[in-house]
Protein backbone atom coordinates (compact mmCIF):
# COMPACT_ATOMS: atom_id res chain seq x y z
CA UNK A 1 0.00 0.00 0.00
CA UNK A 2 1.28 3.51 -0.78
CA UNK A 3 1.56 5.99 2.03
CA UNK A 4 -0.18 9.36 1.89
CA UNK A 5 2.09 10.97 4.42
CA UNK A 6 5.53 12.42 3.75
CA UNK A 7 7.20 11.01 6.81
CA UNK A 8 6.59 14.02 9.04
CA UNK A 9 2.93 13.18 9.63
CA UNK A 10 1.70 15.73 7.05
CA UNK A 11 -0.54 14.60 4.22
CA UNK A 12 1.22 14.57 0.87
CA UNK A 13 0.33 17.88 -0.92
CA UNK A 14 -0.68 15.98 -4.07
CA UNK A 15 -3.15 13.90 -2.05
CA UNK A 16 -4.42 17.03 -0.30
CA UNK A 17 -4.98 18.68 -3.70
CA UNK A 18 -6.80 15.66 -5.10
CA UNK A 19 -9.01 15.49 -1.99
CA UNK A 20 -9.79 19.23 -2.27
CA UNK A 21 -10.65 18.84 -5.97
CA UNK A 22 -13.01 15.95 -5.27
CA UNK A 23 -14.61 17.80 -2.34
CA UNK A 24 -15.24 20.84 -4.55
CA UNK A 25 -17.12 18.58 -6.90
CA UNK A 26 -19.07 17.00 -4.01
CA UNK A 27 -19.99 20.49 -2.73
CA UNK A 28 -21.32 21.45 -6.18
CA UNK A 29 -23.36 18.26 -6.41
CA UNK A 30 -24.77 18.75 -2.88
CA UNK A 31 -25.79 22.31 -3.82
CA UNK A 32 -27.53 21.02 -6.96
CA UNK A 33 -29.36 18.37 -4.91
CA UNK A 34 -30.59 21.02 -2.45
CA UNK A 35 -31.81 23.26 -5.29
CA UNK A 36 -33.52 20.36 -7.05
CA UNK A 37 -35.20 19.25 -3.83
CA UNK A 38 -36.38 22.81 -3.19
CA UNK A 39 -37.99 22.88 -6.65
CA UNK A 40 -39.56 19.46 -6.08
CA UNK A 41 -41.08 20.60 -2.77
CA UNK A 42 -42.43 23.76 -4.42
CA UNK A 43 -44.22 21.54 -6.94
CA UNK A 44 -45.50 19.08 -4.34
CA UNK A 45 -46.76 21.98 -2.23
CA UNK A 46 -48.98 23.00 -5.15
CA UNK A 47 -50.14 19.38 -5.42
CA UNK A 48 -50.95 19.50 -1.69
CA UNK A 49 -53.12 22.59 -2.11
CA UNK A 50 -54.85 21.07 -5.13
CA UNK A 51 -55.56 17.81 -3.27
CA UNK A 52 -56.82 19.66 -0.18
CA UNK A 53 -59.08 21.90 -2.25
CA UNK A 54 -60.60 18.93 -4.07
CA UNK A 55 -60.67 16.61 -1.05
CA UNK A 56 -58.26 14.12 -2.63
CA UNK A 57 -56.27 11.78 -0.34
CA UNK A 58 -52.71 12.92 0.50
CA UNK A 59 -51.13 9.64 -0.63
CA UNK A 60 -51.48 7.94 -4.00
CA UNK A 61 -49.91 4.46 -3.66
CA UNK A 62 -50.45 3.58 -7.34
CA UNK A 63 -48.54 6.67 -8.44
CA UNK A 64 -45.79 5.85 -5.92
CA UNK A 65 -45.47 2.31 -7.30
CA UNK A 66 -44.97 3.73 -10.82
CA UNK A 67 -42.40 6.25 -9.55
CA UNK A 68 -40.46 3.54 -7.71
CA UNK A 69 -40.44 1.27 -10.76
CA UNK A 70 -39.23 4.13 -12.96
CA UNK A 71 -36.58 5.31 -10.50
CA UNK A 72 -35.22 1.82 -9.93
CA UNK A 73 -34.77 1.38 -13.69
CA UNK A 74 -33.06 4.78 -13.97
CA UNK A 75 -30.80 3.92 -11.05
CA UNK A 76 -29.82 0.62 -12.60
CA UNK A 77 -28.84 2.23 -15.89
CA UNK A 78 -26.90 4.90 -13.98
CA UNK A 79 -25.11 2.21 -11.93
CA UNK A 80 -26.69 3.47 -8.70
CA UNK A 81 -28.00 0.91 -6.21
CA UNK A 82 -31.77 0.63 -7.03
CA UNK A 83 -32.55 -0.22 -3.39
CA UNK A 84 -30.91 3.03 -2.33
CA UNK A 85 -32.85 4.98 -4.99
CA UNK A 86 -36.10 3.45 -3.74
CA UNK A 87 -35.28 4.23 -0.10
CA UNK A 88 -34.38 7.81 -1.00
CA UNK A 89 -37.63 8.33 -2.95
CA UNK A 90 -39.70 6.82 -0.15
CA UNK A 91 -37.98 9.12 2.34
CA UNK A 92 -38.88 12.19 0.28
CA UNK A 93 -42.44 11.04 -0.42
CA UNK A 94 -43.07 10.37 3.29
CA UNK A 95 -42.16 14.00 3.99
CA UNK A 96 -44.38 15.20 1.12
CA UNK A 97 -47.34 13.20 2.48
CA UNK A 98 -46.76 14.77 5.91
CA UNK A 99 -46.92 18.23 4.26
CA UNK A 100 -50.08 17.23 2.32
CA UNK A 101 -51.76 16.07 5.56
CA UNK A 102 -50.88 19.33 7.24
CA UNK A 103 -52.28 21.36 4.34
CA UNK A 104 -55.49 19.26 4.38
CA UNK A 105 -55.86 19.70 8.16
CA UNK A 106 -55.46 23.45 7.83
CA UNK A 107 -58.08 23.49 5.07
CA UNK A 108 -60.56 21.54 7.24
CA UNK A 109 -59.90 23.80 10.24
CA UNK A 110 -61.04 26.78 8.24
CA UNK A 111 -59.07 29.45 6.53
CA UNK A 112 -56.89 29.02 3.54
CA UNK A 113 -54.41 26.12 3.62
CA UNK A 114 -50.81 26.95 4.48
CA UNK A 115 -47.54 25.22 3.66
CA UNK A 116 -45.52 22.88 5.94
The binding site for ligand PRE (CB under 6 A) comprises 44, 47, 59-60, 63-64, 67, 93, 96-97, 100
Q: Give min distance, CB of 83 to ligand PRE, in A.
A: 19
Residue among 35, 108, 34, 37 at smallest CA distance from 100: 108
Is 80 or 93 the residue whose CB approaches ligand PRE more closely? 93
Distance CA 68, CA 33 (A): 19
Is 64 or 86 the residue whose CB approaches ligand PRE more closely? 64
Q: Where are the alpha helices (DSSP H) in the chain?
A: 13-53, 61-77, 82-108
Q: Give min distance, CB of 31 to ligand PRE, in A.
A: 22
Q: Give min distance, CB of 39 to ligand PRE, in A.
A: 12
Quick one: residue 79, left, alpha or beta (phi over 0 = left, psi -120 to 50 = alpha)?
left
Amino acid sequence: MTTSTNGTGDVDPAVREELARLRDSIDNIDAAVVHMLAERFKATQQVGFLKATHRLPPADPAREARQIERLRALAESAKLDPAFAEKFLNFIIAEVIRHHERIAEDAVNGGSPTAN
